[in-house]
Amino acid sequence: MFSGNFKAAVSSLRASKWRSLLTMMGIIIGITLVVTIVSLGEGLKRQVTGQINQLGSDVLTVRSGKLVSRDKKGQVQSVNILSLFDSSTLTAKDVAALRAVRSAESVTPMAFVTSTVSSSSGELNNAYVLGTSPTLPDLLHQQIAYGSFFTAGSNQKFAVIGPNIAHKLYGALNPVAHTINISGQSYIISGVLKESPGGLLSVGQTDFNSAVFIPFEHAANLTGGSVNIVQILLKSKAGDTGATIRDARRVLLANHKDREDFSVLKQEELLDVVNSVVNRLTGFVSAIAAISLLVGGIGIMSIMLASVSERTREIGIRKAIGASNRQILNQFLVEGLVLTLSGGLVGVIISLLIFVILRLYTDLNPAITPAIMISAVLVAVVVGVIFSIAPALKAARKDPIQALRGD
């Protein structure tokens, strides 16, 4: 009976093509939006997770603010995302104090500055400038395409640039040994990074491909003294992260006068934070997109109610020849289901097209998985069932005699 209802549903949709298409538009738009947003979030998570995993399990991240709440055993209970947006409480003094920690093999600060970057052939406003130490490329397993990363103890003002900056300012020219102007100060380009998988919310909340790296000590020169240290990476000696965490906390609490306005996170805890941020962001934006699904569902209910009224006589005939209320209900439920299922499939196909366009023409890296597509289609089915029940019940409860009169 289901296949018969399915064929009848398809033929009744084909009988009024334009009406069916317009009815499906709400579902198509809703599914397209939700799938695109979720796939963008998924892609972002993969990017960030990839870079964090590159760090290795012996690297700890010190960040400003109390990002996580822990229980008595020290396990993470919840994530406080809003701390990410507070101003940084980490200072150069903290960096110096952490460098004295014996259990830390290396200390790599990342101070974030927004500056104007220019060369003889171009200028970039609001470019990302990261003040860091020479241990950064090894820690992140970041390779250099041309030249080398600046070394420690050098008094010369050297800078390393990302491939996007090199392309924008120098085109096809090799920028190594050229001069770059950062907020009025001249730096010599010592190297160009290879393409990095880093993105927003990744290490340093920066896309490394579009960043300029200068020695940490010179970052204060660009901002007139104070630096905004986004995070400090600590590599543990001999993989003993427990000891490094204890020592780091002790040192930072001493610097911050026993105020725990910082977080020392292991790799997996950092991943939890990042995943939590991305999930909440994705969920919030998807919820807004899902409003269009709700509107689409209401549209379907409205059209189905009109269809039931138009087909009152047909319902009477079906009941007269032996259809039960349940069979009439199923017939109209299947029609609603076919509408939303078709809309869901079209929405997923459009999402795939958008996915291809974004990958080809933008820097975004969305990731559409089969799970996302199947979930989208299932959501469309659920919407179809929910919003078709009322019209289907109305059809099933019609009196056959009244219906045959066409009332």
Partner 1 sequence: MALIELRDVSKVYGFGEASTLALDEVDLTITKGEFIAVMGPSGSGKTTLLNVIGLLDRPTHGSYILGKKPVSQLRVRQRSKLRRDRIGFVFQSYNLIQRLNVLENVALPLAYRGMTPVRRWRAASDMLERVGLRDREYFLPRHLSSGQAQRVAVARALINKPSIIIADEPTGNLDSFDSKVVMELFADIHRQGNTILLVTHNPELTRYANRVIYMYDGSIVGDEKTAIGSLARGARRIYFNRHKRTPEDITAGVSALMHEVPGKEVTSAPKRRRRAKRKTRRSKSATR
Please, is 287 exposed, middle or buried when counting C-beta atoms within 10 Å of its C-beta (0-12, 13-18, 19+)?
A: exposed
* Interaction of residue 394 with partner 1, rule CB under 8 A: no
* Interaction of residue 313 with partner 1, rule CB under 8 A: yes
Member of 323, 334, 346, 377 binding partner 1 (CB under 8 A)? 323
Member of 22, 200, 254, 320 binding partner 1 (CB under 8 A)? 320
- For residue 117, the tally of other CB atoms under 10 A from its CB is 25
* Closest CB to partner 1 among residues 265, 329: 329
With CB under 8 A as the rule, give the number of residues binding partner 1.
24
* Interaction of residue 19 with partner 1, rule CB under 8 A: no
Report 248-307 residues binding partner 1 (CB under 8 A).
none
**Both tokens assigned to 212:** 């300029």
**Both tokens assigned to 23:** 């009815």
Member of 144, 220, 281, 317 binding partner 1 (CB under 8 A)? 317
Question: Helix crossing, 241-255 with 92-99: angle to 10°?
Answer: 140
Least Å from the CB of residue 340 to partner 1: 21
| Cα 121 to Cα 128, 177, 193, distances in angstroms | 19, 15, 20
* Interaction of residue 12 with partner 1, rule CB under 8 A: yes
CA neighbor of 142 nearest in space, from 162, 167, 171, 158 = 162
Member of 153, 184, 225, 322 binding partner 1 (CB under 8 A)? 322
Member of 15, 82, 152, 172 binding partner 1 (CB under 8 A)? 15
* Closest CB to partner 1 among residues 318, 394: 318
- Give the whole-angstrom CA distance, residue 51 versus residue 33: 27
Question: 107-146 mask for partner 1 (x: CB under 8 A)?
Answer: ----------------------------------------
- Write the CB contacts of 78 (distance below 8 Å, at least 6 apart in sequence): 68, 69
| Cα 384 to Cα 334, 336, 344, distances in angstroms | 9, 5, 10
Chain-centroid distance of CA 126 in Å reads 23
Stretch that binds partner 1, among 74-82, 270-278, 323-331, 333-341 (CB under 8 A): 323-331
Residue with tokens 């001249």: 186
Binding footprint of partner 1 on the chain (CB under 8 A): 1, 3-4, 8, 11-12, 15, 313-314, 316-327, 400-401, 404
